[in-house]
Amino acid sequence: MNICICIGSSCHLKGSYSVKQIFESLVKENNLEDKVKIQVAFCLGHCRDGVSIKIDENLITGVSRENAKDVFTKYILEGVGHEHPSI
């Protein structure tokens, strides 16, 4: 699974680097280094709706420090079929 996090100026101001750090930590915590790759992009074209991320070809907007863990659980853990405690 490939995750691309926008770090363009608008998403940067909305906390994209924090989202990236949270995702990197969650990948390690869940031992998904072999299944999940995190990359960055300078613009995903949805500046008003940032932070924007792409998981494989699926665009998700409105990601923030506050909801990053929930987004990770919903789209990434469930996407790789990883067992996780219910939220």
CATH code at 12? 3.40.30.10
Is the confidence at residue 36, as pLDDT, over 50? yes
For the cut 60, the answer to whether the pLDDT of residue 87 exceeds it is no
Asked if residue 85 belongs to a domain, the reply is no
For the chain, what is the domain count? 1
Q: Cis link prior to 63 (omega < 30° from 0)?
A: no
The structure's pTM equals 0.88
C-alpha torsion angle, residues 74, 77, 47, 5 (rounded to 10)? 170
**8-33 tens-digit pLDDT:** 999 999 999 999 999 999 999 999 99
Is 87 within the bounds of a domain? no
The verdict on residue 69 lying in a domain is yes
pLDDT of residue 78: 86
pLDDT tens for each residue of 58-86: 999 999 999 999 999 999 998 887 655 44
Residue 46 belongs to a domain: yes
Beta sheet of 58-60, edge-to-edge order = 37-41, 2-6, 53-55, 58-60
Q: Which domain holds residue 70?
A: 2-77
13 found inside a domain: yes
Q: What pLDDT is attached to residue 81?
A: 77
